[in-house]
A and B are shown apart, each in its own frame.
Chain A
Amino acid sequence: AQSVTQLGSHVSVSEGALVLLRCNYSSSVPPYLFWYVQYPNQGLQLLLKYTTGATLVKGINGFEAEFKKSETSFHLTKPSAHMSDAAEYFCAVSGGYQKVTFGTGTKLQVIP
């Protein structure tokens, strides 16, 4: 069984401030972890993924995430928020073929 918990359904940051979106996972097998971004009325777009190897994963648009096995976490960060980062972000865990579980999402608001 696997699950994902995203802490905070809404996060607000000022433009230029650090973005931190939290994700904790539970998986009975070594997980594959993903972050997706969704803009209004659009599908989800892959930001980054962790499979194996380096625990710090860099993605598109300046985002990165760090896999911490001891904390079962995969938090998403960006050093400086931009207005265009306002969107909904989803963490997901895959424990094998076809078995992808999504978190409930975090809406990021960027305040000018």
Chain B
Amino acid sequence: SQTIHQWPATLVQPVGSPLSLECTVEGTSNPNLYWYRQAAGRGLQLLFYSVGIGQISSEVPQNLSASRPQDRQFILSSKKLLLSDSGFYLCAWSVISAENSPLHFGNGTRLTVT
């Protein structure tokens, strides 16, 4: 069966510090991968998605970047965090060849920028 791992679960970082959040998927090959951010009362905001190694699409301009160095690894990064980067970050995967494939989410990382 497929599993998705996301870490760390919680993170407190000072403004201006770098960020690296990692997500890995097991039990499937060549998935679509996604990074979402969730803010209270605002639903889920798609930040990045990837259809293959090295292929990243950004949905919103921001202080963050994403990379996919391996087929089942997706990394969210920032060089200098802002207070507004605080939030709950969710990684997800879906079947690349299925238009109606649901998203499968990790357990999220709660980031607090102080």
- A interface with B by C-beta (< 8 Å): 9, 32, 34, 36, 41-46, 49, 51, 90, 92, 94, 96-98, 100, 102-105
Contacts and interface: CB of A to CB of B under 8 A. Distances in A.
Interface magnitude class on chain B:
20 to 34
B28 interface: no
B43 A43 contact: no
Given A98-B49, A102-B43, A102-B44, A43 B107 contact: yes
B44 A98 contact: no
B27 interface: no
B57 interface: yes
- Most chain B CB within 10 A, of A34, A49, A104, is at A104
Contacts of A96: 99
Contact of B41 (A51, A92, A97, A104): A104
Nearest to A33: B100
A105 to B, nearest CB: 6
B102 interface: yes
Nearest to A43: B105
Contact of A46 (B6, B32, B57, B104): B104
Contacts of A98: 32, 34, 49, 51, 57
Contacts of A94: 99-100
B44 A34 contact: no
Given A43-B90, A43-B107, A32 B42 contact: no
Given A44-B105, A97-B32, 20 more contacts: A32-B100, A34-B102, A34-B103, A41-B9, A41-B110, A43-B107, A43-B108, A44-B103, A90-B43, A92-B103, A94-B100, A96-B99, A97-B99, A98-B34, A98-B49, A98-B57, A102-B43, A102-B44, A104-B42, A105-B41
A62 to B, nearest CB: 19
12 contacts: A32-B99, A34-B102, A42-B108, A44-B44, A44-B103, A46-B103, A49-B100, A92-B103, A94-B100, A98-B57, A100-B103, A104-B43
